[in-house]
Structures are given as C-alpha cells and as structure tokens.
Amino acid sequence: MPTDLIAARIRAIPDFPKPGILFRDLTPLLADGAAFRAATAALAARARPFDLIAGIEARGFLFGAALANHLGKGLVIVRKPGKLPHATIGHDYALEYGTDRLELHADAVPAGARVLLVDDVLATGGTAEAAVSLVRKAGGMVEQALFVMELEGLGGAARLQALGVEPSSLLSYPA
C-alpha cells in the first residue's frame, strides 16, 4: 500500500525543536524517489478538479511542484515577505506569539481560477488559513487543500472546513 511506503519514510525525532515535541521529519521521504513518487501519486488521486496549485513555503513548494508536474498544472508559490521579485499582495495573520505574513505575486492567480492548496503538514491550520485568504484576495477560489500529513487534535482541519475548504491528508499522527 502506498501510504505504508510513505509512512515508513517519515522519521520521528523526539525533543525537536524543543523538549516534549515529537517532530515528524519528511526529508527521508523526499530523499527516496519511490516514496516521493508514491506520495505525489497519492496526492494526485485525492485532488478534485482545479486549475492551478498554490504551494506554501517551503516544503509545500516541493510537494506542490511535484504534483503540478505530475498533473500538468501550473504552480504559484505563497511566500514569506520580501522573497518575491514582482508586485505582491499580502495577508497578515496571527501566530501564538505575534504575527506573520504571506505574500503572492499580484498577477499570479487569474480571476475565478480554482486553486488547490498544497503543503506538507496540517497542524493548527493558521498558515493554511492565511494562504486561503490570500488566494481568495487575489481572485482565486480555494475549495480543497492537500497535505502529506496532519497532526491530529490541533484543529487545523476544522479551521479549513469553517472556510469551506476540504482538507485531505495522506497520513495522520497524534499531536
């Protein structure tokens, strides 16, 4: 089963980045061509019809690009501030301790385009929610978001569902 191969390539690292956290490391998955291909195919199988993929910085770029290539679709990138060279639009959002911002090229999303959001991990959903808001601000429609894994119990899926976005993850782990 493809999810077994994918799960076998996700490394659990205790106490990273601080004591008490069990970090799920996706780099072994990316390093294994067969597992990466399986993850891309499994994401593709879950995708509903769409026009364009939006990959969220940074690992969302990797999975989004692979999925875009696999499906013959275009990719736009959602970045942290100051990283895009052309005119941008942005969206500020709250973090646990402070705020952050995501940006997108102002002309990246054609009006009315159906945009599939892609990232590696769904946790609290704050970054994904901000990306949805940003794509919608640009004129796109977001109805689905795909993730390699979800950290359950942190509310990310419910947060996206409240926006009318269907989240889908290949794997789930307790937070």
- Based on the residue annotation, tell me whether 166 is a catalytic residue of this protein: no
First to last CA, the chain: 24
Question: Which residue among 37, 46, 59, 136 is the active-site one?
Answer: 59
| Beta-sheet pairing, 88-95 with 22-25 | unpaired
- Based on the residue annotation, tell me whether 96 is a catalytic residue of this protein: yes
| Furthest-apart CA atoms within the chain: distance in Å | 45
CA angle 55, 115, 128 (to 5 degrees): 50
d(CA 148, CA 137): 26
DSSP-based helix, strand, coil % in the chain, nearest 5: 35, 35, 30
- Tokens (6 digits) for 134: 């940003």
d(CA 121, CA 149): 5
d(CA 143, CA 157): 13
| Residue 141 near residue 113 (C-beta atoms within 8 A) | yes
Which residues are part of the catalytic machinery? 59, 96
